[in-house]
Amino acid sequence: MKNRIRSLLVLFLALGFLIGVCGVAMAQEIKIGGIMDTTGATSDVGKDYAIGMEEAFKYINAQGGVNGKPIKYTWFDYGYRIPEAITKYRLLKRLGVVAIQGWGTGDTEALSPTVNKDQMPYVSASYSAHLTDPAKTPYNLFFSSDYSTNARAALTAWFDHKWPTKKDYGKRKPRLACSYMFASPYASAPIKALKDHAVMLGFDIGDDQDVSLFALDTKSQVMAMKTFQPDVVWHGNTTMSVAATMRDSFALDLGADHIMNNWALDENLPRLGGEAAEGAIGATPCAFYGQPFKNMDIVVAAGKKYSPGVPQEKRLIRSIQAWGNALLLWEALIRADKAGDLTGKGIMQKGFESLRNFDIGLGAAPITFTETDHRPGTGCLIQEWKDGKFQEVANVNLKQRWPEKWEKEWLGW
Amino acid sequence: MSTVWLPCGDYHQDYAEDQGWWQARFIKFKMILLLAVVFIGIPQFLPEYYVSVGTMVGYTAMGALGVQLLIGFTGLITLGHAAFIAVGAYTSTLLVLQFPWPGFIVDWGLAYPISILVAAIAAGLWSVLFGLPSAKVKGFYLILTTMAAQFITVDFILTQYVSQIGGRGQAFSLPPGVIKIGPWAIDTDLKIYYLMAVLLTLMIIVLANLLRSKPGRAWVAIRDNDIAAEALGINIVRYKLLAFFVAGFFAGLAGAFWVSNTAALSPEHFPWFWSLWLVGVILIGGVGSIHGAIFGALFMVLVMEGLQWAVIPMSEYFPRMLMAFASIKDAAFGLAICAFLIYEPNGLAYRWWQAKNYFNLWPFSY
């Protein structure tokens, strides 16, 4: 009898110890949330991003997490529905996450007042310039150049390098038309900045064309553009609908060059667009999957290890973008944890806003955040799909070229 | 007022008594208890997350009440209700952000309350516009005309023109402190919940009163047989349009309320799918009953939230479940509608009615 009691006591003590240890382990875990789109309007680029993000956190944990504390990454697909994103955000908050990896412009901007109120660092795949002014959105960040910078840089690169090769160069003003989904905050976010830049460079601007993110047939929009005879078309959507527009432009002989935002230019564009995609020029905030840049070997190895079912040849730049944001958050967490302050405010001030020319590799520009400016870089690399590969057109540094406007006028839009 | 404590059988002797709010002291007690739960229990004793879930239930119910009035009480099938919610949301936002209010209105925190009322009226009138075809068409044809409301309102007018006001692009962002009722800035989950609870309670009272008055009887008559209703002297066009106005008014209230929850607005907030979702809410909750809209909203929001909690631990073993969660949710929505249509076509409200009747006579039912 005594033995049985002793055994039970030992068992209880062991259980208690185990629960205690687990409790300590749980307490040291750092919870990060994710709101992704793998089934909605932007899932053509969102799936690979979500996979890349998951791989990045697995890799980070394999490296010891944040100063030895593992990251518990919980994410949801919200199907690009904003009410859904809001409920997901609240669920993640309830789960006790200290920062969130978010997705689209509509939901990130909709959640922005809430994350500011909750002091929740929100690293998004939306690079809307509206999220870069800490006076308005102090808890929003991302590793990439913002959409407005992308648009200004792409237009500048075309103006500098392509327009002089046209037969009408010097005889008249160049003509710009914009094709994007009006209802999408993502697609429409840089339009004001783009047009402002076009006016500054002396462009004539045609009517905008409304092209859905789901569009497969854009002939009517291309026909409407044809009456204006643009020299260059800005595409603000994601890969699938941009490829459709480029195909129709090719078929209807629009005769314009195509420049686009970063979410349109990826490895799938030539696959979907075929010969129509030749000459596509776009903003690239980081390297394409597998390109020989610092840390790319880690990304590729993690891809092979953690997602063996996803063929390497089908991986996209979207994974690299996810890694960019994951590595950015990792560094901020490491710094904030070292400073002993893993609160939202601590992660922002002692983490993100202490970064000065921080190099994440992956072909991305060095990152700097200050408490008055959340634009991570000052320009953007512009690349072109030509002769079966992506080639550099220009590395546009807007701050160097227009320092006064960059400092005083262009922040936050 | 009845003096009895328990509603034990039907002893009503006239219409007024039959339709009375407080038919027994037990019912009064029950309603007071319900109000205590809604206004004190949930906001004061539950964590913030559950309060925000309560807000989503309320927002869904606010939209569903209008759909219930059109489909459940008047027999006018609608698949464009999200458009009227959008009109309410945009009217309220534009009034708050762009209208040159006199200083004292802003100082006294009256801009948002006034905007709610104007938004509701604007959405009501907009709804009447798309209700006009109901004078000539019904059934499937009416579904298509109401769907047109979605495409014309959200995809065309709001996206192409209204969103451009102010030069921001597509999205409006409401700075903190702008949404204010009197001295209170609606800036926490708790305050948003209370706003929802007050609006929803008022909407239920208004709808319940309308339903037991002349318009309510006319609506039900039109639903049951519009030709017979017309033969009885009911002006069916007038009452159909009145139904559209009230449903639109409710949608406008829901939209104006939604703004306080997000503090940002874009056409993406009002997809056509939301109209379909609201019809699903009343199908599951029970068509033709105010309870149905509430039970449907409770079911749709709580079950989907529960599904989320179930998926989180399972994702350890099936990581792709998170990737497919939105699809799982849509599948659950479709499955729930199929299951209810097959096994309980009268919805949850009917089950509630059965349970209530059982306990009314308990323990001496016969």
Say if strands B172-173 and A389-397 run parallel, antiparallel, or are unpaired. Answer: unpaired
CA distance A213 to A183: 10
Q: Contacts of residue A83 in chain B, CB cutoff 8 Å?
A: 56, 269, 274
Residue B265 to chain A, least CA–CA distance (Å): 7
Q: Residue B220: is its pLDDT beyond 80?
A: yes
CB-CB under 8 Å, A90 with B323: no
Chain B within 8 Å of A117 (Cβ-Cβ)? Answer: yes
Cross-chain Cβ contact A87/B273 below 8 Å: no
3-class DSSP assignment, residue A17:
helix
Chain A residue numbers with beta carbons less than 8 Å from the beta carbon of B326 are 38-40, 77-79, 81, 84
d(CA A257, CA A246): 10
DSSP string for B181-218: ETTEE--SHHHHHHHHHHHHHHHHHHHHHHHTSHHHHH
- B170–A79 CB contact, under 8 Å: no
* CB-count burial class (<10 Å; 0-12, 13-18, 19+) for A123: buried
CATH 1.25.40 for domain B46-349: no
Q: Is B160 on the interface with A (CB under 8 A)?
A: yes
**In chain A, where are the structural domains located?**
23-145+292-377, 148-284+381-408
CATH of the domain spanning A148-284+381-408, picked from 3.40.50.2300, 3.40.630.30, 3.30.830.10, 3.90.209.20: 3.40.50.2300
- Separation CA A205–CA B14 (nearest Å): 73
Closest CA relative to residue A32, chosen from A108, A85, A113, A92: A92
**Tokens found for residue B19:** 């339709």
Q: Predicted confidence band at A25 (pLDDT cuts at 50, 70, 90)?
A: very low
Confidence of residue A20 (pLDDT cuts 50, 70, 90): very low
Q: Which residues of B touch A113 (CB under 8 A)?
A: 173-176, 262-264
Q: Within the 164-193 window of chain B, which residues sit less than 8 Å (CB to CB) from chain A?
A: 167-171, 173-176, 187-189
Q: Give the highest mean pLDDT range of A220-234, B138-152, B297-311.
A: A220-234
B262-307: per-residue pLDDT in tens? 877 888 888 888 999 999 999 999 999 999 999 999 999 998 888 8
Contacts of A75 in chain B (CB under 8 A): 322
Which tens digits make up the pLDDT trace of B3-34?
Answer: 556 566 667 788 887 788 887 777 888 889 99
User: Mind giving me the DSSP string for A132-176?
Assistant: --TTT-TTEE-SSPPHHHHHHHHHHHHHHHTGGGSTTTTTS--EE
Is A82 at the interface with chain B, CB within 8 A? Answer: yes
Cα B184 to Cα B105: distance, rounded to the nearest angstrom? 14
- Vertex A35 angle, CA A101 and B304, to 5°: 150
Give the fold, CATH level 3, of A23-145+292-377.
Answer: Rossmann fold (3.40.50)
pLDDT tens column, A43-61: 888 999 999 999 999 999 9
The DSSP letter of residue A84 is H
Q: What is the pTM of this model?
A: 0.81
A192 shares contact with chain B (CB less than 8 Å) = yes
Chain B contact for A331 (CB, 8 A cutoff): no
DSSP, collapsed to helix, strand or coil, labels residue B268 as helix
Asked, colleague to colleague, whether A23-145+292-377 and A148-284+381-408 share their fold, the answer is: yes
Helix, coil or strand: residue A383 = strand
Q: What pLDDT shows up at residue A303?
A: 94
Supply the pLDDT for residue B168: 57
